[in-house]
A and B are shown apart, each in its own frame.
Chain A
Amino acid sequence: MSDVHLALGGASFDGLVKITELPGQGMVTLRGDLADKTIVQAVQHAFGVALPGVRETAFDGENGALWMSPDEALLLCPYAEAEDRVSALTGHLQGAHALAVNVSDARSVFELKGRMLREVIAKLAPVDMSPDAFGPGMVRRTRMAQVAAAFWMDDASTARVVCFRSVAGYMFDILSNAAEEASAVNYFVR
């Protein structure tokens, strides 16, 4: 949504990968037992996706769900719908012990596009980014340099990185720094 006031106003950088601050992303944090049937069904009803397995993602168009912990999921939807989705989800939960919170404004999302995205991430996160260890369909919560972050890959050349809104500037700067044109490691791609 273009009228969402982003932390960095939609900043972008072109280097080893193209880095773009994505426009408003609806995000709902769900706390609850992800194995609980009522909760699984409520998510299915409100977001149209099945809750993914451990460290996995599930997407259907603009809707998605990311596994964050055994009792936490990050649910994705269009920005403008987040509040309504929280209400819908809470309604479907029917008294099951759970907590759904709209966190769309609490976070910033960056897209990394390009074949070198694995090594840009590997400069910042203590995570094995080789294709046999990480790929589309998976999500990883970790740190990138000095801040908490989560990332996942939509396809071989697209990744999304989520961090707290207050450190969006820092995240953009470290990503851009890691993606400086002359700094290719050529580790994953030769």
Chain B
Amino acid sequence: MFYREAGDFKTSYASDQQTFPIKLDRYFVWGVLAIAFLVIPFVINDYWEKSVLVPFLVWAMAALGLNILTGYCGQVSLGTGGFMAVGAYACYKLMVAFPEMNMFLVVILAGLITAMVGIAFGLPSLRIKGFYLAVATLAAQFFLVWLFNKVPWFYNYSASGQISAPERTVFDIAVTGPNAPPWATYLFCLILVVVFAYVARNLTRGRTGRSWMAIRDMDIAAEIIGVPPLQAKLSAFAISSFYIGMSGAMFFAIYLGSAEPTEAFGIDKSFLVLFMVIVGGLGSILGSFLGAAFMILIPVLLKNIMVGVLGWPADLAAHIEFLLIGALIMIFLIAEPHGLAQLWRVTKEKLRLWPFPH
């Protein structure tokens, strides 16, 4: 009754092939975007910015990146943390070297640099697959973090070995540094995430995305029907690293402000993003957002309940959080291997037939 595609006639190829072909989907997306752009910036405060919205956007970007690689192209990567570190350090070097540069450009350039590193570490994927590749990406994770720890050029020879983001602006509004207003940092991240989510959605619908999915489903068969594995795998690595690099840059410059590689970009971050992708749904753009929201909100919620309401000590809450997250991952894999996105699809399917399901 509410969700129908009947009666939504298309009269041109353009309207038939638009990003969201169903009218109600389109209205829904526009509605969400309207709230995100026109309402939230006016009501946002420091707490919501720092502990919910900005981390959600940053991790959604990372989850998008990993979903392209793991969900669409089927190459499991445990090197997300390392690639985020590349993005962060590239961003830092650019911010310091070109103080006048627009922050959008800085973040995108940082993403491009990460994409090149991603291609280099993606090369083994042409020869190895599955777990073996996962271990190979671990090499990226540990090597990159070690590199940023040990080579002083990356952190500009600062005594503490940390990098910290100087104040940089977009059209004279500060988006990094301690003086940046919450709405500015939020909008900055939001614009990047929305634009690149749109790009990702269309990439995965097109030729590139289809070749990734062919490789994922069976690479030998894909090769036989004429999908070039070299191009498909390396482009997946490049684009995925591009997204992850941008998310690393935002994570460092906007969210953290200052970072130390072992702490900020450790292996636990790789797992966090992997969990987001699993929980949200492998091979789904919407799933990346749902997964990121889930994994960001659950700890905040649990902490508020256990420490705030029940008054338990914080370390106890942390242990229970670990336990619950592990259990949730297993429950998701058992009950719904396709993640939250599949639940959404099922709901839509039910809505189409409601109230007469037979």
The answer to whether A and B belong to the same complex is no
Interface residues of B (CB under 8 A from A): none
